[in-house]
Amino acid sequence: EHIFKVEGNRVFFTNESQFADSLLWKFGDNTSDTVQNPVKTYATAGAKNVQLITKNHCGSDTLTSIVEIRGLQNINPSKTGNAGISTLVFEGFGFTAATDVKLHLGATSFSPLQKTLLSGNRIQAVFDFNQFTAGQYNAVATLGSNFDTLQNALLIENAIATLLTLQNSGKK
């Protein structure tokens, strides 16, 4: 048996198995370790399928647990213009109704007009991009993890003015 404690992107594992001659931890990110009680630092957010494989003269046993590392992974779309109202979807792990999402350009922070929790992995946010400065914006979700900020997540470009001309052909 094993237990774990998640602190940001670090996970503290405790092996409580008995009579094992050898053990192997597989951390769900293509890394592994053979220490009794490892501390694992994950590089990305997400659900990790962790296995503890123990062996002795009677055979082997595998215990599997899902470890969820909170964090912001993506926003869609990743490019928009600075005219009009647009909806962005923030994607990641560990979202709740209390999770705030924002966009940052330098020291300036922008909050959405409206925010809707779609699931523990998705938040929909409506922004008014009129008069936003063109540039690369960072996306931020308050999750209390090391993965709260997604650098250069949204490119806002200057909107191109469109001129529409209608011509009446005189036919009824």
pLDDT band at 1 (very low <50, low <70, confident <90, very high): low
Residue 167 burial by Cβ neighbours in a 10 Å radius (0-12, 13-18, 19+): exposed
Average pLDDT over residues 45-66: 94
From residue 121, alpha-carbon distances to 43, 90, 146 in Å are: 18, 8, 16
Whether the CB-CB separation of 54 and 18 falls below 8 Å is answered with no
Whether the CB-CB separation of 62 and 52 falls below 8 Å is answered with yes
pTM assigned to the model: 0.75
For the cut 70, the answer to whether the pLDDT of residue 84 exceeds it is yes
For the cut 80, the answer to whether the pLDDT of residue 11 exceeds it is yes
Q: Among candidates 65, 71, 152, 49, which has minimal Cα distance to 105?
A: 152
Residue with tokens 């992107």, as numbered in its chain: 9
For the cut 90, the answer to whether the pLDDT of residue 145 exceeds it is no
pLDDT band at 121 (very low <50, low <70, confident <90, very high): very high
Least confident of 90-94, 127-131, 138-142, 166-170: 166-170
pLDDT band at 81 (very low <50, low <70, confident <90, very high): very high
Residue with tokens 């490892």, as numbered in its chain: 38
Least confident of 25-34, 134-143, 145-154, 163-172: 163-172
For the cut 70, the answer to whether the pLDDT of residue 16 exceeds it is yes
The conformation of residue 132, written as its DSSP 8-state character, comes to P
For residue 87, what are the contacts with CB-CB under 8 A and spacing of at least 6? Answer: 124, 125, 126, 127
